[in-house]
Amino acid sequence: MPQYTTFQPKPYRPRMSAYWYLDQWNYLRYALRESSSFFVAYFAVITLIQIAALKAGPTHYAHFQALMRCPVVIVLNAVALAFILLHAVTWFMLVPRVALRQVLNKPTPDIIASAPNFMVWFGATLIIALFILGVF
Amino acid sequence: MSSAKRSNEPIVWFLFGVGGFVVAYFLPIHIMLYGLAFPLGLAPDPGYGKTYVLLQNPLTRLYLFVLLMFCFFHAAHRMRLTLSDILNMRHLNTVLAFLCYGGAIVGTVAAIWMLAVVH
């Protein structure tokens, strides 16, 4: 007797929970990492507002500074920073997955392959900070 | 060949990919200082005068333009995919693409408009 069914095959549609990303830590980490984009957009808009306030004059810039001192905004900024740091670290750690896999026929440790990224990050942060703080 | 539909994926992926580096390298320090350290008094805020002089420098404005443009397009691409893949909104793909990339274009034009001329 043949072991196949006589029915026409139906396309397989796995049922997926709307909260599938809570099923495994790896899924949740992926969802959190991708969510960093909302906070990137948020702080880009804040920076646009800051530039507009700067151009509008000292009174408007004082309003912007007062807005940044609101507890709600400070908490939001802290959350945004956490998400964007998650983006930065995961993005830098991508390097060993796409390049620099071998030096002298040995696999490069992930952290060594990512190290140049972290050094550029540190240098860029320092230079921008010195400009913002008015040292240069 | 002329009737073949060309994908816009290389363009949006280029902006997303380069944007990933620009965001990672440069955005954290902006949040650390303007978003946390200055409001909390952890670092001395240089204030309106010095910050305005900084904005008058064309190189600062070029930097801010590049930063903001890549922030907007990086975020737009990832927000679109987050909403369609993670929150299962794929059926709204066209609307999401329009809102996300449209928003990025609006943000970039606003940045050009504000940064082009500073007296």
Chain A residue numbers with beta carbons less than 8 Å from the beta carbon of B88 are 16, 18
- Per-residue pLDDT tens for B33-42? 999 999 999 9
Mean pLDDT of A38-51: 98
The pLDDT of residue A103 is above 80: no
What pLDDT sits at residue B26? 98
Which chain B residues are within 8 Å of A84, Cβ to Cβ?
A: 23-24, 27-28, 31
**Given B25, B33, B118, which is nearest A120 (Cβ)?**
B25
pLDDT band at B5 (very low <50, low <70, confident <90, very high): confident
Would you call A31 and B82 a contact, using CB atoms and an 8 Å cutoff? yes
Nearest CA to CA, how far is A15 from chain B (Å)?
Answer: 12
Which residues of chain A are within 8 Å of residue B79 when distances are taken between CB atoms? Answer: 37-38, 41
B46 and A51 in contact by Cβ < 8 A?
A: no
A77 touches chain B (CB under 8 A): yes
- Banded model confidence at residue A102, pLDDT cuts 50, 70, 90: low
CATH 1.10.150.20 fits A20-132, yes or no: no
Task: Kindly identify which residue of chain A lies nearest to residue B51, measuring between CA atoms.
Answer: A132
Q: Specify the higher pLDDT residue, B3 or A50.
A: A50
> Under a CB-based contact definition with an 8 Å cutoff, are residues A20 and B82 in contact?
no
Cβ atoms within 10 Å, residue A118: 14
- Per-residue pLDDT at B2 exceeds 80: no
3-state class of A7 per DSSP?
A: coil
- Residue spans per domain, chain A: 20-132
Residue A84 contacts residue B23 (beta carbons within 8 Å): yes
For B52-97, write each residue's pLDDT tens digit: 999 999 999 999 999 999 999 999 999 999 999 888 888 898 999 9
Q: In chain A, what residues touch B111 (CB-CB under 8 Å)?
A: 48, 51
Surface of B (81-110) touching A: CB under 8 A: 81-82, 85-88, 103, 107, 110
Contact between chains at B46 and A41 (C-beta distance less than 8 A)? no
Dump the DSSP string for chain B.
-TTSPPPSHHHHHHHHHHHHHHHHHHHHHHIIIIIIIHHHTSS---HHHHHHHHHHSHHHHHHHHHHHHHHHHHHHHHHHHIIIIIS--GGGHHHHHHHHHHHHHHHHHHHHHHHS---
In total, chain B counts a number of residues equal to: 119
Residue A95 scores a pLDDT above 90? no
- Cβ pair A36, A86 in contact under 8 A: yes
- B9-115 folds as 3 helical TM bundles of succinate and fumarate reductases (1.20.1300)
Residue B1 pLDDT:
47
What residue ranges do the domains of chain B occupy?
9-115
Separation in Å, CA of B30 to nearest CA in chain A: 8
